Structure 1
Amino acid sequence: MSTTKAVLFDLDGTLIDSELFYFSSWSPILKREFAIEIDFKDWLNIFAGHTLDHNISMLKDRWYVDVNRDFLWAETRKSYADADMKTIQLMPFAKEILQFLKNEGKQIGLVTSSYKSTVDTVLGHHQLLGYFDFFVTREDVESPKPDPEPYLKAIHKLNLPKDSIVAVEDTSTGFASATAAGIACFVVSVQESQQDRLSGKTEILSSLKDLLKTI
């Protein structure tokens, strides 16, 4: 920990327990508009941790449906608004790890494929925005995760040696982005799909509480 000067966190599935929220918003749309039925395991295996554009590509490739991006964007945003993103809970020990790092004088950044409006709504509701020195959101990059661009932008903001920066992610997508940018990445996940994808590549922690002992 003494050599770590900055920690970069992913948002969805890492700091906030949002995947069931997204599944509950997407699955009725897919069934109603495209006659596609998925369960939560399908969501985690196919869609979780990816951008809208990636998920549209998956719908076209797997189910051969013609998906209009603007339409799906509008439908999902309406569903999010109707469901109220303020209901999304924090992952266990999320606030504790942020407080610990703040007390230790570490810089803290958020690197997410979500939009700033989501960050402001959810983290603002939980009064966590003030813990972060900066945010890299979907609006800030041309190529989202797994491309390294989001983390390269964060590294540039920090102006620190890469070996003093660590990332915290919950998916293979985020892990690929962080490691391609040249920084170490801790993975915190209990999802079997992510554990299978990352087996042999990195140690997988089961909770942010374990990160407190590791970072």
Structure 2
Amino acid sequence: MRNINAVLFDMDGTLIDSEYFYFSNWAPILKSDYDFEIDFDDWIRDFAGHTLKDNVEMLNREHQLQVDEEDMWFATRANYAKANMKNIRLMPHAKEILEKAKAEGLTLGLVTSSYQTTVQTVLGEHQLLDYFSFFVTRELVESPKPNPEPYLLAVEKLNIPKEEIVVIEDTSTGCTAAKDAGLYCIAVSKQAVERQRLNHADLLLNDLAEVKNSLF
């Protein structure tokens, strides 16, 4: 495909099938505490790929709710703990593409809006942590995706030309961050609502098997 030496992966929705997990833990809180109902399509369209802070601000701005960020943080973390994040499955072909990339001698990084504890819990459960040379997590940046800061930090860690780096993302938010950082971005999603917003990706594919075939 191109002369690449590093691949930067998003995590939620790209490597792990986490969006329904997050939806199923946020929706009951919104219903019980704020009398606000969402379905999974709403989650994908309005919430997926954004930080908790961004989602709280969106709810208050767009729906005139009075959601407190700290209250939502504690409520969602309590639900996550009860639901057990270790049960989150990998996306199809996730381990396969990581194994192939490492076998090809590429450097792998993870760039996510999730916190390090989530990365350790979920990727640790699936024994994927050792595939990555570094992790850029929420607590390491001031401005998360769609701001390019996370990817610019990853480029700094890699210390190679941007032309040798490929990003794998699943949301418009993440793709925007990658493109604004000057990186080539492959978007991977089967969600119709998200695919419509990914026309700024360099390449739009359906799953990680297609990504693997395009890279190698």
TM over 0.5, yes or no? yes
Give runs of aligned pairs for residues 180-199 of structure 1, distance below 5 A. Answer: 180-199=180-199
Deviations 1:2-27 (A, max 9, x none): 61000000000000000000000000
**CA shift at 1:62, angstroms?**
2.0
Partner of 1:104: 104
Give runs of aligned pairs for residues 124-163 of structure 1, distance below 5 A. Answer: 124-163=124-163
Partner of 2:38: 38
Partner of 2:8: 8
Partner of 2:55: 55
Contact 2:175–2:201 (Cα < 8 Å) also in 1: no
The change in CA–CA distance for 1:2 and 1:62 in structure 2 (over 3 A counts) is: closer
> Runs ≥4 in structure 1, deviation > 6 angstroms?
none
Q: 2:185 and 2:33 mapped to 1: Cα distance? A: 38
1:154 counterpart letter in structure 2: A
Identity %: 56
Contact 2:115–2:139 (Cα < 8 Å) also in 1: yes
Please state whether the residue corresponding to 2:168 is helix, strand or coil. strand
> Taking structure 1 as the reference length, what is the TM-score of the superposition?
0.98
1:159 counterpart letter in structure 2: N
Deviations 1:67-103 (A, max 9, x none): 1111100000000000000010000000000000000
The aligned length equals 215
Deviations 1:157-210 (A, max 9, x none): 000000000100000100000011011000000011111112365431001000
CA RMSD of superposed structures (Å): 1.0
Gaps of 5+ in 2: none
Q: 2:94 and 2:181 mapped to 1: Cα distance? A: 24
Partner of 1:22: 22
1:3 counterpart letter in structure 2: N
**CA shift at 1:61, angstroms?**
1.5
Q: 1:62 and 1:141 mapped to 2: Cα distance? A: 26
1:121 aligns with 2:129: no
Deviations 1:36-78 (A, max 9, x none): 0000000101101100111001110222111111110000000
Gaps of 5+ in 1: none
Q: 1:63 and 1:161 mapped to 2: Cα distance? A: 43
The change in CA–CA distance for 1:155 and 1:201 in structure 2 (over 3 A counts) is: closer
